């Protein structure tokens, strides 16, 4: 480590002047006392007036540069070396499962010297971090991207979809995609459409508590995802995450019906308008929903990974400025998914802008900001006006899924009419025609 990571201004100056580097054991003399410790990197967002050292008892402290009289190097820092524990014995005859990582760390190890967290990305890293994986599958690991979930775009969806297709064609019996949780629901929808005919399970998984902490949900989620990928009787795209606060049951959510509904809880992911399609508990998959596409031995299938990103998801609200719609139309947008109020409404003062957009060939569809439930635009005049205008009601489809689907529909058709037809068609379970009595079915 040669750079003085995170240091700038006065703190960087004094370290440079003293010719010390991060990882060095140093002595810092202040007006009051002397400290010995290892020079640590500084948080990028912290001030430029403190030097951070790790004392021999493991604690970090910050020393104000204005109190420092001298910094002296005692010894050069040693580079930490990692000796992986022995690889667990892998039983033969286990299915081959590919783990594709996209960013976010599902497994990691901590450098207690510097506090750095190193992601576990290779198969052997994963085995050593989560040895239980060796019970269920022979793992192949590949990194397609290492980005924060919020930086995910349709370009990456395509990259992931193509990688999954390649793995399936080369004989993998199931695919696990590790993903940051913030936009995992969007990616699961995108893969659901792009890989609509995939013959094996494709399982997205993430963690709500970072994998460097003993209480992380990552290991259990990953074990569950590998189990579903290797043993599930169904094919298609799914998200596997905690069902509740406890480390016991995982829910298997349909890729088009899942949403992150909490900022931090382990059970943030919920199936909307349908129950989870299965649960994982104690190493087995249970309560599998009827009617899921079965797993097959075929390796051949068509991936349709193209997305047209000129689509916007617009949330209507009181005092919504309808000129936003005009702006989108004039900027050449091909589609608008409205997140309307209640059963699927926007204020009547938006009608002329919406009419203009549709006349110009923009595909406009309606979902509800209620998240739960179905749009039904025939009940009130407002809705009826929008229907007459040509706004397409999307039943009980999630707004985010509708956005992704519209990008995909426009990316895979030549005309708005064709795209509109595709939007109406149930491709990957995104449309439910019947509403269950219970919103969150009891288990």
Partner 1 sequence: MVIEGIDYKELGLKVGLEIHQQLATKKKLFCPCEKFQSDTFELSFERRLRPTQSELGQVDPAAMFEFKKGKMIRYGANRDSSCLVEADEEPPHDLNMEAVESALIVALALNSNIVDELHTMRKIVIDGSNTTGFQRTIIVALGGSLKTHHREVEVQTICLEEDAARLTGDSKDFREYYLDRLCVPLVEIALAPVEGSPQEVQEIALSLGRLLRATKRVARGLGTIRQDINVSTKGGAVVEVKGIQKLDMISKIVEFEALRQKGLMEIKEELEERFVKPEDIGQPIDVTDIFEDTECKIIRQAIKEGGIVLAVRLKGFSGLLVYEPYPEIRLGKEMAEMVRFYGLGGIYHSDELPRYGITIDEVESLKRRLEISKEDGFVLLAGPKDRAEDGIVAIVERSKDALQGVPYETRGPTPDGKTRYIRPRPGPARMYPETDIPPIAITKELLSRLEKEVPKPWEEQIEYYMSKYGLSKKLALQVYDSEYSDLFGAVVSKTKIQPSVVAATLTETLISLSRAGFDIDFLDESTLTDLFLSLDKGRISKEAIPQILELFLEGKIGSIEDAIKRLGIVTISEEELLQLIRRIVEESKDLIRERGERAFSIIMGKVMKITRGRADGAKVGTLLKNEIENVMKGEHDSSE
Question: Footprint of partner 1 on this chain (CB under 8 A)?
Answer: 32-33, 35, 40, 43, 45-47, 49-50, 52, 55, 57-64, 67, 80-85, 108-113, 115, 118, 128-129, 209, 212-216, 219-220, 244-248, 263-266
Alpha-carbon span 270 to 254, nearest angstrom: 10
Shortest approach of partner 1 to residue 353 CB, angstroms? 41
Whether 413 is catalytic: no
Residue 153 known to be catalytic: no
Residue 179 or 266: the one with the smaller Cβ distance to partner 1 is 266
Tell the burial category of 112 from Cβ atoms under 10 Å away from its Cβ (0-12, 13-18, 19+).
Answer: exposed
Half-sphere exposure of 413 (CA within 13 A, CB side): 18
Closer residue to partner 1 in complex, CB, 86/92: 86
CA distance 360 to 351: 14
Cβ distance to partner 1 smaller for residue 67 or 309: 67
Strand spans (E) along 208-268: 236-242, 249-254, 258-260
List of residues 6+ apart from 17 with CB closer than 8 A: none
Please, what is the minimum distance in Å from the beta carbon of residue 225 to partner 1? 17
- Measured CA to CA in angstroms, residue 305 lies from 164, 196, 313, 409 at distances of 11, 10, 20, 11
Shortest Å distance, C-beta 100 to partner 1: 22
Output 283 or 361, the one with its CB closest to partner 1.
283
Least distance CB 52 / partner 1 (angstroms): 7
Instruction: Kindly state the smallest distance separating residue 30's Cβ from partner 1, in Å.
Output: 8
Tell me whether residue 49 or residue 389 sits nearer to partner 1 (CB atom).
49
Q: Which of 24, 54, 102, 105 is catalytic?
A: 105
Structure tokens given for 75? 């010894």
- Residue 294, beta-bridge partner list: 234
Determine how β-strand 335-340 pairs with β-strand 363-368. Answer: parallel
* Shortest spacing between CB 127 and partner 1, in angstroms: 11
- Specify whether the CB–CB gap between 328 and 357 falls below 8 A: yes
C-beta of 133 vs 423, nearer to partner 1:
133
Say which of 178, 181, 329, 367 is annotated catalytic.
181
Measure the CA angle with vertex 340, ends 438 and 312; round to 5°.
Answer: 115
CA distance 47 to 7: 9
Neighbours of 339 (CB within 10 A): 22
Q: Give min distance, CB of 107 to partner 1, in A.
A: 9
Q: In Å, what is the CA distance from 178 to each residue of 103, 153, 238, 239, 435?
A: 7, 16, 12, 10, 31
**What is the DSSP track for 38-90?**
EE----TTS-SSEEEEE-TTS-EEEEEGGGEEEEEEEEPPPPP---PPPPPPP
Q: For residue 35, what are the β-bridge partners?
A: 28
Token pair of 313 as six digits: 């998801």
Minimum CB separation of residue 311 from partner 1 in Å reads: 33
Which structure tokens are listed for 409?
A: 């529909």
* Active-site entry in 47, 48, 140, 182: 182
105 is a catalytic site residue: yes
Catalytic residue selected from 260, 334, 405, 420:
260
SS3 track for 304-322: CCCCCCCEEEEECCCCCCC
Pick the closer one to partner 1 by CB: 45 or 433. 45
Report the residue number, 214 or 332, with the smaller CB distance to partner 1.
Answer: 214
Active site residue 182: yes
Query: How many Å apart are CA 97 and CA 95, to the nearest integer?
Result: 6
Catalytic residues: 105, 181-182, 260
């Amino acid at each position: 480590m040669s750079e003085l990571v995170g240091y700038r201004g006065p703190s960087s100056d004094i370290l440079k002047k003293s010719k010390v580097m991060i990882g060095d054991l140093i002595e810092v003399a202040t007006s009051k006392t002397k400290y010995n410790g290892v020079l640590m990197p500084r948080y990028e967002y912290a001030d430029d007036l403190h030097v951070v050292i790790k004392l021999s008892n493991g604690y970090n402290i910050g020393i104000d540069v204005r109190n420092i009289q001298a910094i002296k190097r005692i010894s050069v820092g040693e580079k930490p070396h990692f000796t992986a524990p022995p690889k667990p014995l892998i039983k033969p005859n286990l299915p081959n499962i590919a783990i594709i990582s996209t960013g976010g760390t599902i497994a990691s190890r901590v450098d207690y010297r510097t506090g750095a967290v190193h992601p576990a990305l290779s198969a052997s890293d994963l085995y050593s971090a989560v040895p239980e994986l060796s019970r269920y599958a022979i793992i192949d690991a590949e990194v397609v991207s290492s980005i924060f979930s919020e930086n995910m775009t349709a370009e990456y969806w395509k990259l992931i979809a193509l990688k999954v297709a390649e793995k399936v064609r080369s004989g993998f019996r199931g695919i696990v995609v590790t993903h940051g949780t913030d936009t995992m629901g969007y990616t699961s929808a995108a893969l659901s459409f792009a890989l609509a005919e995939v013959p094996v399970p494709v399982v997205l998984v993430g963690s709500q508590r970072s994998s460097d902490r003993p209480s992380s949900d990552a290991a259990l989620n990953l074990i569950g995802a590998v189990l579903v990928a290797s043993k599930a009787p169904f094919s298609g795209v799914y998200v596997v995450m905690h069902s509740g606060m406890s480390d016991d049951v995982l829910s298997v959510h349909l890729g088009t019906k899942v949403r992150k509904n909490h900022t931090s809880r382990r059970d943030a992911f919920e199936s909307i308008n349908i129950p989870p399609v299965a649960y994982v508990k104690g190493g087995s998959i249970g309560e599998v929903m009827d009617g899921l596409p079965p797993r097959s031995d075929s390796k051949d299938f068509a991936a349709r990974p193209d997305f047209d990103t000129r689509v916007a998801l617009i949330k209507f609200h009181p005092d919504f400025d309808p000129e936003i719609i005009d702006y989108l139309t004039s900027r050449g947008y091909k589609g608008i998914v409205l997140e309307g109020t209640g059963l699927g409404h926007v204020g009547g003062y938006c009608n002329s802008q919406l009419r203009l957009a549709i006349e110009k060939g923009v595909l406009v569809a309606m979902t509800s900001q209620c998240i739960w439930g179905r749009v039904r635009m025939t009940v009130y005049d407002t809705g009826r006006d929008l229907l007459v205008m040509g706004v397409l009601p999307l039943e009980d489809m999630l707004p985010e899924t509708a956005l992704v689907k519209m990008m995909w529909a426009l990316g895979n058709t030549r005309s708005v009419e064709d795209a509109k037809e595709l939007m109406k068609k149930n491709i990957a379970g995104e449309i439910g025609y019947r509403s269950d009595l219970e919103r969150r079915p009891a288990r």
